[in-house]
Each structure stands twice: as structure tokens, then as C-alpha cells.
Amino acid sequence: MLQYAIGVLILLLNNFFRNVYKYIIYYIIMNLSKQLIIIFEGHDGSGKSNIAAELSKKLQIPMYKRHAEKNRWFDTNIDLIYGVDSLVDYFEDTKQSVIIDRFYPSEYAYAKTFKRPLCENKLMEIDKRMSKLNTIIIHCFKSPKNQTEDEHDIIKKSQYKSIIKNYREFLSFTHCNFFQINTNNENLPQQIEKISKAIYKMVNKK
């Protein structure tokens, strides 16, 4: 009986301290005096949009998502779809903290896969500017057996491998802090906790 009671107590204490630590992270991040920009990236169906929306609620940081970009993928006359200079100007001028669902890293990953024209110098200039704004890139991905077909039937499941490879290639030379998370289990609270801890560590290294 005593052994059972001790086991229950340990379980309760573990849960208590886990939750306390989680909300301390939220509190510290929410009360940062500096600007914080979190960019969620990943192939279609990786769960990044759901995670970004939930983190936006938890941290009370507004979320930005560019719409209708898929209609523009095949227009080779368009220079940038995801990485727009004017948006970077806005972040620089306003010092606004924001969570972004896809930005310029997707330009690199998808342009490489779809063989679109890509101005890498312009992307790297944007990356350097964003790195000065306390930007963190979160790359979400799933293993092949957990990947699903694109609901719009534009991206083929067979292309995800190339897209993931291109994201990782981009992360190898970005000037921003980044964190990669496997989202196979689709456990949103667990994903939010992992990402929050990673953000906390990166923010407090500076």
C-alpha cells in the first residue's frame, strides 16, 4: 500500500513540475522585451499549421498565413511567392512579434522541387535581415509511412522526400536559429511542449 502511494505521489509530482515548467516557458516568452518571430515550415500535411495556430493562442502572438499561394506556383514570371521583401520591411519597422505559417524557407524548398526560378542571393539577404529580428525557424516533418496526400492534389506524396531534403539543405546555411520536429504522433500538447522548450533555450542563449 505504501509503495502504491509513493508511486502515485511521484506521478503527481512529475505531472505538476512538468506543467509548472511548461507555463514558466510560456510566461518568459510572452514577457520578452525583444521582438520574437517564429516561422513554421514543413511539407503539406506535416501538421505545421495546426501547431502554429495553437502556439499563437498559447503565447498570445498573432499568426500570419499567406493565402492562395498554390495558385501561383506554376507562374514562372513571379519572383517570390513566400519571401516578400515588403513583409520584412514591416517587421523591421514595427518590431512586431509574429508566428508565420510558411515564409521564405518554403520559397527555397518548393522552388527546388518544382524547378521554379530561384534567386538564392535574394533569399539569403532576407534570411540575414530576419536573423537580426530574433527569428526562429521550426521545421515540421513526417516519416514517409505517416505522410498523407495533398488535399488539393497539387503536391504528390512522392515529392515530399525532395521537399524535406530541400528544407534541411536550407537550414544548413540559414543565419537564424532553428528546431526540427518529427510530427508523426500528432500529439498537439506534446508537440507544443517540445517546441516551447526549444524556443526557450534558443531565446535564452542570447
Residue written as grid cell 537550414:
171
Residue 88 has pLDDT above 60, yes or no: yes
| CATH number for domain 32-203, candidates 3.40.50.300, 3.30.43.10, 2.60.120.620, 3.90.1330.10 | 3.40.50.300
Bridge partners (DSSP) listed for residue 126:
none
Q: What is the pLDDT of residue 119?
A: 84
Say if residue 131's pLDDT is above 90: yes
pLDDT at 78 (0 to 100): 47
pTM: 0.83
- Summarize the confidence of residues 155-177 as an average pLDDT: 93
Can you give the residue ranges of every domain in the chain? 32-203
Q: How far is CA 196 from CA 2, 25, 76, 110, 126, in A?
A: 36, 7, 38, 27, 25
C-alpha dist (Å) from residue 59 to 25, 86, 155: 10, 25, 31
